[in-house]
Amino acid sequence: MSERSLFALYTAAQDLAPVEFAEVAFGVVRKVLPVHSGMFGHGTFEAAGRARILSLHRHDVPLERVRDRENLPDGDPAILNSLSNGGRTVHTCSRDYAHDPSFERYIRRYDSWNVFTLTPGVPFGTLTDAVTLWAGALKRSVDPARLARRGDEVLPHLLLANSINRRLHTGDPGPACAVAATDGVLLSASPAAYQLLDAAWPNWRPPHVPEALMDALKARGRFSAGSLSATATLSGNFMFVRLQRRAAPTLSAAERRVATMAVAGATYKEIAIEFSVSPSTVRNQLHAVYVKLGLRNKTELAQVLADA
């Protein structure tokens, strides 16, 4: 998937109303996959493959088709397959399940011989986004597994962009997400993302991602310190970040005493004498304090203690 297409997708998520965004999103998808129709939405799934959809974008999918799909006696096998392989694009050959007359009629009526689905790997009953795309019969020279791999390049971005678009236009703070360039400049972020960043770094200066967060995400793909945890996926020159609030860490009485003396200017040796421990123990305790609070230096530590 080209960086130009990614830019178009996330720009549309931020700038366009949901209906207009959906048209752009499906246009991006059809450049990658030979599908004729599809839909993506927000809702919950059950182990049996049934879904409770709260919002839905449709592309060449009439309401009658949605209802026919909902009324399939055994559910949609494509959804069942996807739920068993959460987090990646799954191809389902509908012909393999055409032994059920009602499902075969559904396949033929809507030319749904091949299905590509992506549902995130979340517990059943958890609100999430998912996408289903339909294609007719594929040429023998076309490898469905290769198409599924191409789906993995675009569909996660479609779902994330849809999540951003929905929250920007509904005011739903939801799980926070953001898109940043690898040089640390934010390209797009949901209101919830800004709220979490403001809480973790009151003095940060958008559009620049806080340095400690960016360094950790680039090095390890994750960050967990202070009031914030985050994970990131890198794609070319873009980083796609999900953030969530972390339970506020607390210092033990011993850690707080050591931290207070260190901020006041005491040396390891002076602190060690005060508490009848070795200087190495003091050093280890201070290191634990910095890691627990997600701090890098004594200036930041002093600020945290002053705010406590």
CA distance 37 to 159: 16
Q: What is the pLDDT of residue 267?
A: 94
- 261 and 276, same structural domain? yes
- 160 and 19, same structural domain? yes
Query: Residue 263's domain spans which residues?
Result: 253-307
Q: Using CA of residue 127, residue 180, residue 153, residue 30, what is the dihedral sign?
A: positive
- 239 and 111, same structural domain? no
CA distance 61 to 203: 47
Q: What is the CATH number of the domain that holds 24?
A: 3.30.450.80
- 62 and 139, same structural domain? yes
Q: What is the pLDDT of residue 48?
A: 67
Task: Domain count for the chain, please give it.
Answer: 3
- 139 and 47, same structural domain? yes
Q: Using CA of residue 55, residue 61, residue 64, residue 68, what is the dihedral sign?
A: negative
Helical spans, DSSP H, in the chain: 3-15, 18-30, 63-70, 77-83, 101-110, 144-170, 191-200, 211-220, 253-263, 268-275, 279-293, 298-307
- Contact between 168 and 190 under an 8 Å Cβ cutoff? The reply is yes
Residues of the chain with pLDDT under 50: none
Beta bridge partners of 230: 223, 243
Q: What is the pLDDT of residue 30?
A: 94
Among residues 215, 211, 208, the alpha carbon closest in space to that of 187 is found at 208
